[in-house]
Chain A
């Protein structure tokens, strides 16, 4: 039981990761796929932030009297990854707009039919 409760943040990471991946794979709606992708990426952000935590550690800002700090490096890494994620989402949504303009739909199977009925 301790194993489950003690690592609850990691369980959340795994659940989010699976929800995200499943959404990307199973949904036919292109926007929903992007939402799934975002959930998937967010789970990785949580993973990194969990890794950086030090038990009893304060935020990594030098303060009088504080001896233990959390590890700031994973947090910095994930700031970079968040920026990358935002850029990816923006580009993906831009592509969806163009797809909607040229196909008139954002459902994967309808697009597939339109391409192959010619």
Chain B
């Protein structure tokens, strides 16, 4: 059983997806989807535990030995990311029940849960596989499912947002495919471990360098690295609230993982430093943090404000990767986890407002903080974590990021990280002002607190934000171990 966990994580949601699609309307599809997500979270937890105490797992699909067959190879890095994805799915689904009933047409509910499970399959598949072509396949499974999920939004802009994401996402995936092809042409292998041994001998070839560039641009499109982020704000704004919660907390994180894998495991450690990629990451990270944070300040829609903030947070992670040091990678991985917690909590709280008011524009939520104290509390605490106030998870990631920058005397980066936090104060402050200090509109007086089923998952994530801000053993411990593997310090 334990040896099959890595495959079960992909197969269970994959098989459940079509089953859920043909279930009758009502709450049964939700129940099945929830059970599947909970199972995946437990499995992912067991997998991380097994990897931490017994070392890397290698699973040969169909009994074909790698490098010919597809291998699932799990170490601390992907077990960690898989746990984030599965746990977020398990927390999002209880939230989905009411939110989806409110925002998605009743006849589409079974299909909605089916697409959500397919998206989960793809994301978990990316984390499990040790084959770079397999990554492309899972990337497209998750992307196609998320295009469909986004288009379920109630406004017609959801269609154009999904279309825009589809075009840019497909270009990104195709770039990745070109990169895989070019590298295969020089190495004859697709297995990550195998490539890691072959690539050092052929690094001087132009084809390999071009392939590397294609891979990086393709992934950068998927993770919404500034300036390739244009699809993200619309997609997050117009998607149904549940979809935004799930995608914001998982999809870009998995793309960051793929980038780490390619940069540090597939290509030899230190290769990126010899190419312009390294400087580009730092420049793009810095530009992303500043530009997206400033954009966030001027948004009139809460979901869009948080979406721009997500682009800025991706900037922090890429900045950590750009430092190419153990501390930098630890910071990137810790922030990956913490950002999933804070954005999950914030988008859930906003979803609760949408559930009651039906809108997420600033002027429509004036003064609602007093009518919905628990939801408002979640936004305040999530916002503090986003800023990086001590005692919250956000502080831990900022701390490691600043340490990584100081290690390399990258003063500009330090200044940017700190000013990014200040800009976050402004946009979170704007949110709190609208929710609490603006007078309540006539329609807003009738609003009551969100149902408990929406508040519970939200507060689970909010409390997790506080908990992981105080006790960093799990997050930082695992992230340090994962960073050490990526830096090649432990076998």
Binding site for B on A (CB under 8 A): 21, 24, 30, 33, 37, 40-41, 44, 47-48, 51, 74, 77, 80-81, 84, 87-88, 91-92, 95-96, 98-99, 102-103, 111, 115
Cβ contact of A44, chosen from B140, B166, B174, B184, cutoff 8 A: B174
Binds A, one of B156-164, B278-286, B375-383, B471-479: B156-164
Q: In the complex, are the beta carbons of A95 and B151 less than 8 A apart? A: yes
**B360 at interface (Cβ–Cβ under 8 A)?**
no
Q: How far is the CA of A81 from the CA of B177 in the complex (A)?
A: 9
Taking the nearest CB of chain B, how far is it from the CB of A101, in angstroms?
9
| Cβ–Cβ < 8 Å partners of A47 in chain B | 178, 181
| Cβ–Cβ < 8 Å partners of B136 in chain A | 81, 84
| Cβ–Cβ < 8 Å partners of B185 in chain A | 51
Q: How far is the CA of A41 from the CA of B178 in the complex (A)?
A: 10
Taking the nearest CB of chain A, how far is it from the CB of B373, in angstroms?
33
Q: In the complex, are the beta carbons of B184 and A115 less than 8 A apart? A: no
B124-143 interface mask toward A, CB cutoff 8 Å, 1 = contact, 0 = none?
A: 00000000010011001000
Total interface residues on B, using CB and 8 Å? 25
Q: Assuming the A-B contacts A37-B171, A95-B147, A103-B156, are A44 and B163 also in contact, with contact meaning beta carbons closer than 8 angstroms in the complex?
A: no
Q: Assuming the A-B contacts A24-B167, A37-B170, are A44 and B181 also in contact, with contact meaning beta carbons closer than 8 angstroms in the complex?
A: yes
Taking the nearest CB of chain A, how far is it from the CB of B382, in angstroms?
29
Given contacts A88-B166, A99-B160, list 18 more A-B pairs with CB under 8 A: A74-B184, A77-B133, A80-B133, A80-B137, A81-B136, A81-B177, A84-B136, A84-B140, A84-B144, A88-B140, A91-B144, A91-B166, A95-B162, A98-B151, A98-B159, A99-B163, A111-B160, A115-B157
Q: Assuming the A-B contacts A37-B171, A87-B144, are A92 and B178 also in contact, with contact meaning beta carbons closer than 8 angstroms in the complex?
A: no
**B57 at interface (Cβ–Cβ under 8 A)?**
no
Q: In the complex, are the beta carbons of B181 and A91 less than 8 A apart? A: no
Q: Assuming the A-B contacts A44-B177, A48-B181, A77-B133, are A37 and B144 also in contact, with contact meaning beta carbons closer than 8 angstroms in the complex?
A: no
26 contacts between A and B (CB under 8 A): A21-B171, A24-B167, A24-B171, A40-B171, A41-B170, A44-B177, A47-B178, A80-B133, A80-B137, A84-B137, A87-B140, A88-B166, A91-B148, A92-B166, A92-B167, A95-B147, A95-B151, A95-B159, A95-B162, A95-B163, A95-B166, A99-B156, A99-B163, A102-B156, A103-B156, A111-B160
Q: Assuming the A-B contacts A51-B185, A84-B140, A99-B163, are A44 and B178 also in contact, with contact meaning beta carbons closer than 8 angstroms in the complex?
A: yes
Q: How far is the CA of A74 from the CA of B133 in the complex (A)?
A: 10
Q: How far is the CA of A115 from the CA of B158 in the complex (A)?
A: 11
| Cβ–Cβ < 8 Å partners of A37 in chain B | 167, 170-171
Q: In the complex, are the beta carbons of A41 and B181 less than 8 A apart? A: no
| Cβ–Cβ < 8 Å partners of A115 in chain B | 157, 160
B169-180 interface mask toward A, CB cutoff 8 Å, 1 = contact, 0 = none?
A: 011011001100
Between A30, A74, A84, the greatest number of chain B beta carbons within 10 A of the residue's beta carbon is seen for A84
Q: How far is the CA of A115 from the CA of B171 in the complex (A)?
A: 25
Q: How far is the CA of A111 from the CA of B159 in the complex (A)?
A: 11
| Cβ–Cβ < 8 Å partners of A40 in chain B | 171, 174
A-B contact count (CB 8 A): 67
Between B133, B157, B163, B167, the greatest number of chain A beta carbons within 10 A of the residue's beta carbon is seen for B163
| Cβ–Cβ < 8 Å partners of A91 in chain B | 144, 147-148, 166
Taking the nearest CB of chain B, how far is it from the CB of A84, in angstroms?
5
Q: Assuming the A-B contacts A91-B144, A91-B148, are A33 and B174 also in contact, with contact meaning beta carbons closer than 8 angstroms in the complex?
A: no
Q: How far is the CA of A74 from the CA of B174 in the complex (A)?
A: 15
| Cβ–Cβ < 8 Å partners of B184 in chain A | 51, 74
| Cβ–Cβ < 8 Å partners of A99 in chain B | 156, 159-160, 163
Q: Assuming the A-B contacts A84-B137, A95-B147, A95-B151, are A102 and B159 also in contact, with contact meaning beta carbons closer than 8 angstroms in the complex?
A: yes
B2-42 interface mask toward A, CB cutoff 8 Å, 1 = contact, 0 = none?
A: 00000000000000000000000000000000000000000
Report the nearest B residue to A30, measured CB to CB: B163
Report the nearest A residue to B134, measured CB to CB: A80
Taking the nearest CB of chain B, how far is it from the CB of A14, in angstroms?
11
Report the nearest A residue to B161, measured CB to CB: A95
Q: How far is the CA of A30 from the CA of B185 in the complex (A)?
A: 34
Q: How far is the CA of A80 from the CA of B171 in the complex (A)?
A: 17
Q: How far is the CA of A91 from the CA of B146 in the complex (A)?
A: 11
Q: How far is the CA of A97 from the CA of B384 in the complex (A)?
A: 43
Taking the nearest CB of chain A, how far is it from the CB of B47, in angstroms?
26
Q: How far is the CA of A96 from the CA of B348 in the complex (A)?
A: 30
| Cβ–Cβ < 8 Å partners of B160 in chain A | 99, 111, 115
Name the 6 nearest CB pairs between A and B, nearest first: A102-B156, A84-B140, A99-B159, A95-B163, A51-B185, A98-B159
Between B148, B162, B170, the greatest number of chain A beta carbons within 10 A of the residue's beta carbon is seen for B170
| Cβ–Cβ < 8 Å partners of A102 in chain B | 156, 159
| Cβ–Cβ < 8 Å partners of B171 in chain A | 21, 24, 37, 40
Taking the nearest CB of chain A, how far is it from the CB of B285, in angstroms?
26
Taking the nearest CB of chain A, how far is it from the CB of B429, in angstroms?
28
Taking the nearest CB of chain B, how far is it from the CB of A37, in angstroms?
6
Q: Assuming the A-B contacts A44-B177, A81-B177, A98-B151, are A33 and B167 also in contact, with contact meaning beta carbons closer than 8 angstroms in the complex?
A: yes
Taking the nearest CB of chain A, how far is it from the CB of B208, in angstroms?
14
Taking the nearest CB of chain B, how far is it from the CB of A74, in angstroms?
7
| Cβ–Cβ < 8 Å partners of A98 in chain B | 151, 159
Taking the nearest CB of chain A, how far is it from the CB of B41, in angstroms?
28
Q: How far is the CA of A21 from the CA of B171 in the complex (A)?
A: 8
Q: How far is the CA of A92 from the CA of B168 in the complex (A)?
A: 12
Cβ contact of A88, chosen from B144, B162, B178, cutoff 8 A: B144
B101-138 interface mask toward A, CB cutoff 8 Å, 1 = contact, 0 = none?
A: 00000000000000000000000000000000100110
